[in-house]
Chain A
Amino acid sequence: MGPQHPSTHGVLRLKLTLDGEVIVACDPVIGYLHRGMEKIGENRTYAQFIPYTDRIDYLSSASNNEAFVLAVERLAGIEVPERAQYLRVILLELNRIASHLVFVATFANDLAATTAFLYAFREREVIMDLFEMWTGARLTQSWIRIGGVGSDIPGGFESKAREFCRMLGPRLDEYDALLTGNRIFRVRTEGIGMLPPEEAIDYGCSGPTLRGSGIAFDLRRAEPYEVYGKLGFEVITDTACDCMGRYRVRMQEMRQSVRIIEQCLDQLPAGQVQAKVSRALRPPAGEAYGRVESPRGEFGCYVVSDGGTMPLRVRVRAPSFYHMAVLPEMLRGWKVGDVIAILGSIDIVLGEIDR
């Protein structure tokens, strides 16, 4: 299956061994999008590498920026102004909603519910407009910078963001009416692609893939970064362990993200959005790990410095890489048609698998 199959969301080849229609074994072939991101990181200054991180998981570029920037700030001992921390959280949560909307859209589309695809992209477009208004870019913003964010939010952004937050809840209710309870959709997702909690942990699963197996582990709660510790939100879990469970987790998480954004807008303090950071930043020799709860799970950057202007090593820990490794286990015993649902339910981005 693949590498050009439309439901593989990128370039992915799955070597499937079949007994009739039943999957006996699966060997994923990855690397088609390998761009040597980690190697590039060793040949750029710390600030220069930020735009590359956007392109690792291109559906949630802010999370990638954040993980890398967190590691660099820990290495160099940089304090970020509080207003910038709130703005980062707003950007991160808008990114999460946008990414989960793409998940709902493509997951439904792969299961032949094309209308839901159009609905979700309609809502996502509003977020893209908000990004464009603030950062000038729609997808790869590079707006989380070492020591702050690229700029303050422009006039009119807050009211537009609040309008979006008010609008999203009722729109999600529409998806529930259209898709979540749909009989065909349920038959294709309920009880399909089971991932028991022990197996999920054993394979290093994180994010909605882990929480869809009933494990309440969320880095925003377990290791709060920025101002997440001050914000109220629920860590969504679902004990179904199937495709539907993972879908429901993401649907509920969008509502929680709305809560977080509204709190940030309410509490947003005045002040600077960028700390003073040397242009020729030379963090002291040492190592730091920045890990964030990206829409897909634990996205981490392990940065090692030798005291120079360029990192000695940048390691990118991508959640989809680990989720892809467990896919063969999840597929075994299911039918070829279920591959689409199971693969869709772990919401991979090939850009971060291949890096």
Chain B
Amino acid sequence: MILDDLKAQFGDEIESADEVGRELRVRVRAASLVAMCRLCRSRGYSYLSDITAVDTGSDMRVVYRLVSLQDGGHVVISVGVPRAGGSVPSVTSVFRGANWPEREVYDLFGVRFQGHPDLRRILLTDDWQGYPMLKAGPGQPK
């Protein structure tokens, strides 16, 4: 079971872990993110479905969804990140496909990914000011 492997390897680095159906939701400290992705990948979770961020207005997290192409299980890894100009390690060394979604999270939320080979805006123009997906930005009533 992947959860036991993760607990054995990362122990206190795991802030919380819940199993919801076929989904394992793990919240981990940023320092262990890359190692955890690498372990999941070696256990068959080789398909990086998506990387995104969620800003609640008071705190923010980056969310990674890894899927096993063998049994269809999901591991959803969350990492807390400071809302203004925070950074997390890039997982491009584990999944080459992380390049673009990390750029998108940077572009829209302002999260910096340490070790990313090419961190620049992707959807918005290069001279865009600010990060529109943050809560309390322009045009945001909540």
Asked whether A204 lies within 8 Å of B69 as measured between CB atoms, the reply is: no
Known: A201-B47, A204-B48. A31 touches B123 (CB 8 A): yes
Residues in chain B near residue A312, CB distance under 8 A: 54, 56
**Total contacting residues, chain A, CB less than 8 A:** 37
Interface of A is mostly: mixed
Asked whether A31 lies within 8 Å of B124 as measured between CB atoms, the reply is: yes
Within the complex, which residue of B46, B69, B100 is in contact with A321, where a contact is CB–CB below 8 Å?
B100
Asked whether B132 lies within 8 Å of A31 as measured between CB atoms, the reply is: no
The reply to whether the CB of A264 lies closer than 8 angstroms to some CB of chain B is no
Number of chain B interface residues as a range? 20 to 34
Chain A residue nearest to B94 in the complex (CB)? A202
Asked whether A215 lies within 8 Å of B122 as measured between CB atoms, the reply is: no
> Measured between alpha carbons, how far is A170 from B140 in the docked complex, in Å?
53
Residues in chain B near residue A315, CB distance under 8 A: 50, 52, 54
Asked whether A302 lies within 8 Å of B132 as measured between CB atoms, the reply is: no
Nearest Cβ in chain B — how far from A308, in angstroms?
8
Nearest Cβ in chain A — how far from B47, in angstroms?
6
The reply to whether the CB of A16 lies closer than 8 angstroms to some CB of chain B is no
Asked whether B123 lies within 8 Å of A39 as measured between CB atoms, the reply is: no
Asked whether B125 lies within 8 Å of A298 as measured between CB atoms, the reply is: no
Within the complex, which residue of A30, A223, A304, A317 is in contact with B123, where a contact is CB–CB below 8 Å?
A30
The reply to whether the CB of A313 lies closer than 8 angstroms to some CB of chain B is yes
> Measured between alpha carbons, how far is A199 from B97 in the docked complex, in Å?
9
Asked whether A317 lies within 8 Å of B50 as measured between CB atoms, the reply is: yes
Chain A residue nearest to B50 in the complex (CB)? A317
Within the complex, which residue of B49, B125, B132, B133 is in contact with A204, where a contact is CB–CB below 8 Å?
B49
Asked whether B95 lies within 8 Å of A302 as measured between CB atoms, the reply is: no
Q: Ordered nearest first, which 5 A-B pairs have the shortest CB separation?
A: A204-B97, A203-B97, A31-B123, A325-B100, A317-B50
Given contacts A201-B46, A201-B69, A203-B96, 11 further A-B contacts (CB under 8 A): A34-B123, A36-B132, A39-B139, A43-B140, A201-B47, A202-B95, A306-B56, A312-B54, A322-B97, A322-B100, A326-B97
- A-B pairs with beta carbons under 8 Å apart, 23 shown: A31-B123, A31-B124, A36-B132, A39-B132, A39-B133, A39-B140, A43-B139, A43-B140, A199-B96, A204-B48, A205-B97, A289-B74, A291-B49, A298-B49, A302-B52, A306-B56, A312-B54, A315-B52, A317-B50, A317-B52, A324-B100, A325-B97, A325-B99
